[in-house]
Amino acid sequence: MKVVVLHGWGGHAPEKMKMLVSELKAKGHEVFAPSLPGFGEAEPPQEPWGVSDYVVWVDQQVRSLGWEHFSLCGHSFGGRISIKYAIEYPSKVDKLILIASAGIKHELNFKTKLIKAIGTIGKSVFSIPGLSLLSPIIHKLWRILLGRKDYYRASGVMQQTFIKVIEEDLRGLVSEIKIPTLILWGKKDAMVPIGDAHFLHENISDSKLKIYSQGDHLIPYNYPEEIAEEIDQFIV
């Protein structure tokens, strides 16, 4: 079976997915696992990209391979791309696998609202001469508190790409997915809440949910054999 595997956000994400890719190949699948533009050794886009830009890029790559039908697997950011790809090109995707998929935007909780309020006050305080030198450091810490570590790990155009990507909410689109879908999630995922797994399962009509009780956001890195087995049984 042909399988396209899309990695999550992060410079080393393509490398870390190699164990899962290797396990899938060992089971006899033909796997295409590209480094998305801006990650690994792939050059970043010339201008900030959104999710749809990555969808178009992925489609160009699979067409260059001559693949007309395949299963599509995405982890985290790759899951975000996979959701939108499956909606825009449903005739090409035989089976969809979402692993701790991003894409569901959430309302700010009290803690986040408080941190943002403190940040707003801090901007005024650190504009005072003398204190302004500390502003970049405080701003970086504030972003980290808001869960935007990936923003600061990126650079140049990828920082703006990150902002464009996370601002898009796919919540209203997932019910359009009619492709058989396997949803894999770690119960201890601190990056993408387990509630998102249940939301996807409830709103994708033909879906199956598997939760790893001891798993976190990195289940494709930490459980490559188990994940590959689940995928193999699902797509064959």
Reading the block at residue 107, the tokens are 């309302």
| 136 pLDDT above the threshold of 90 | no
Whole-structure pTM value: 0.83
pLDDT tens, position by position, 164-191: 999 999 999 999 999 999 999 999 999 9
pLDDT tens, position by position, 213-226: 999 999 999 999 99
Supply the pLDDT for residue 61: 98
| 151 pLDDT above the threshold of 90 | no
- Pairing of β 70-75 and β 30-32: unpaired
3-state helix, strand, coil split of the chain in percent (to 5) is 50, 15, 35
| 208 pLDDT above the threshold of 80 | yes
Q: Where are the domains of the chain?
A: 2-105+168-235, 110-158
| 9 pLDDT above the threshold of 90 | yes
Q: CB burial class (10 A; 0-12, 13-18, 19+) of residue 43? A: exposed
Supply the pLDDT for residue 131: 52
| 142 pLDDT above the threshold of 90 | no
164/81 Cα distance (integer angstroms):
13
pLDDT tens, position by position, 33-81: 999 999 998 999 999 999 999 999 999 999 999 999 999 999 999 999 9
CA 18 and chain centroid, separation: 16
Supply the pLDDT for residue 115: 40
Supply the pLDDT for residue 210: 98
Q: Read off the pLDDT band of 116 (50, 70, 90).
A: very low
Supply the pLDDT for residue 156: 84
Q: Read off the pLDDT band of 150 (50, 70, 90).
A: low
| 129 pLDDT above the threshold of 90 | no
Supply the pLDDT for residue 47: 96
CB of 201 within 8 A of CB of 183? yes
Q: Which CATH superfamily is domain 2-105+168-235 in?
A: Alpha/Beta hydrolase fold, catalytic domain (3.40.50.1820)
